[in-house]
Amino acid sequence: MLTRKQYELLVYIDNHLRDHGISPSFDEMKEALSLKSKSGIHRLITGLEERGFIRRLAHRARALEVLRLPDNNDDDAPATATTARVTPITSARKTTHRPAMVPSAFSEIQESVSLPLFGRIAAGTPIEALRDQSTHVQVPAALLGTGEHYALEVSGDSMIEAGILDGDTVLIQRCEQANDGTIVVALVDDSEATLKRFKRGLGQILLEPANARYETRSLTPDRVQIQGRLVGLLRQY
């Protein structure tokens, strides 16, 4: 599965190789994808390399080789980001030019839901719960289950070992109860919210981080209200 930006970069690199016989520079890739920094390109290339779509050639500048491409040519059954088939690149690869734009199968937005983005929630030190519903985020409906949902932007690094990074947008399903081990939004003392793993101790509620640098908080049940549980995550590169 490729993210939209990964797919855009893969198509751009392949087109550039066809047109110029050399892979594009990082500045060219950054400009083509309208990214602000080269670090975003580095992350995208690493992701494509890890998934086996491209290969970096050692000891050569600007040397990228496209190994395979998603196959989106079946008009009767258009591929999506989760179902795209992959076509290996062979020595007999076609020489026809592919447009730099993303094919329509990837451009079309899947059915989405507008969720209120309440604000930034601490994944390190708790912050006051924010309830500004003036901002919304579009979320693929397939990521959500039943019930009411909302989104929060993560601030901090205390959940990095659970794959939740600073700046991520987490998707939360409203609930008031949670099973042990569930990552929840917990409201502490009616004033501050935090994203942590929920566990029950001996007469205590444990809010456990996913970073060894942070300590688990142990609180009496009357101080903690469950505001929802984590059901999804959005990340931009």
Determine which one of 158, 191, 199, 218 is catalytic.
158
Q: Is 203 helix (H, G, I), strand (E, B) or coil?
A: coil
Instruction: Specify which residues 7 forms β-bridges with.
Output: none
**Beta carbons within 8 Å of 88's beta carbon, 6+ residues apart:** 67, 68
Say if strands 136-140 and 127-128 run parallel, antiparallel, or are unpaired.
Answer: unpaired
Which tokens sit at 7? 């797919």
Determine which one of 5, 37, 196, 218 is catalytic.
196
Calculate ∠ Cα 101-102-106, nearest 5°. 160
Which tokens sit at 53? 């779509």
Q: Kindly state the DSSP code that residue 164 receives in the 8-state scheme.
A: -
**Among this protein's residues, is 38 annotated catalytic?**
no
**Among this protein's residues, is 39 annotated catalytic?**
no
Separation CA 76–CA 99 (nearest Å): 21
- Active-site amino acid positions: 158, 196
